[in-house]
Amino acid sequence: MSDDIDLRDIEAFLYREASFLDRPDLDGWIELYTEDGTYWMPAIEDQVDAINHISLFYDDRVMMEIRRRNFVHPRAASKDYIVRCSHIISNVQVTDSTNDGLTVTSNFQCVVYYNSKQTLYAGRYTHELLTVGDEFRIRHKRVDLINCDGVLGSIIIYI
């Protein structure tokens, strides 16, 4: 990656992604991903394998498209409640860079209001970003919840 990418631009991109989830607007959110982009929420700390080990989420474009349609389906009982989120992202660091992309880690806290209850999710994001001119696209987003291996309720939306 060239040195001219400003950390503030990367942060602005992460905030933009989070703001789509805050609303939530999955149509807009999906557009931030590359066609082969993936979203992963492991079920254990330091999980290395999403195929031979269970995860909470592991979606590629096909699953994102299904989830986006399901999210607004009038008969989805679990979506019959208002969903509002508030993300806070900090400690943004570039941990790796290549010719066409970079890896960014950050800490997050996300409060989800759903079915009369607020749930706090917290942990670490790892974004593998593709640089396209001045823009970014997400090749892979990894969400490591600090309680990924604990007892959890329904996780109704991407975090």
Partner 1 sequence: MTCTDEDIDGLVTPTKIHRRVYTDAAIFDLEMQRIWGKAWIFIGHESQVPDPGDYTTLTIGRAPIVMVRDKQHEIHVLHNRCGHKGAKLVDKPCGKVGGFRCCYHGWTYRLDGKLLGVPHMAGYEDTGFDKDDPQYSMQKLARYESHRGFVFASMDPSAPDLRTWLGGAGDVLDNLCDRSPEGEVEVAGGVLRYEHECNWKMFLENLNDTMHPMIVHRSVVDAANDYIKTLPEDSPHRDEAEIIPPFGASYENFEATGITGFRYGHHYDGGKSSIHSNYSVDPDYEAVMLEAYGAERTREILTFNTHNTLYYPSLTIKSAIQNIRIVRPIAVDRCVVETWSFRLKGAPDSMLQRTILYSRLINSNGSMVGPDDLTAYFRMQQGLESRASEWVEMHRNYGSDEDHGDRWTNKGTSDLDMRSQYGAWRHYMIGEAV
Candidate ranges 26-34, 36-44, 91-99, 134-142; the one touching partner 1 (CB under 8 A)? 36-44
Q: By CB under 8 A, tell whether 46 contacts partner 1.
A: no
Q: By CB under 8 A, tell whether 70 contacts partner 1.
A: yes
Q: What CA–CA distance (Å, rounded) separates 28 from 103? A: 22
Q: By CB under 8 A, tell whether 122 contacts partner 1.
A: no
The tokens describing 24, both together, are: 């939530």
Q: How many other C-beta atoms can be found within 10 angstroms of the C-beta atom of residue 128?
A: 19
Q: By CB under 8 A, tell whether 150 contacts partner 1.
A: yes
Coil, helix or strand for 130?
A: strand
Candidate ranges 10-18, 26-34, 74-82, 129-137; the one touching partner 1 (CB under 8 A)? 74-82
Q: By CB under 8 A, tell whether 154 contacts partner 1.
A: yes
31 or 100, CB closer to partner 1?
Answer: 31
Nearby residues of 40 by Cβ (< 8 Å), 6 or more positions away: 50, 55, 57, 58, 59, 140, 141, 142, 143
Q: By CB under 8 A, tell whether 146 contacts partner 1.
A: no
The burial class, CB within 10 Å (0-12 / 13-18 / 19+), for 73 is exposed
| Residue of the chain from 7, 12, 63, 146 that contacts partner 1 (CB under 8 A) | 63
Instruction: Find, among 36, 29, 47, 37, the residue nearest to 127 by Cα.
Output: 37
List contacts with partner 1 (CB under 8 A): 41, 43-44, 51-58, 62-63, 65-70, 73-80, 115, 149-156
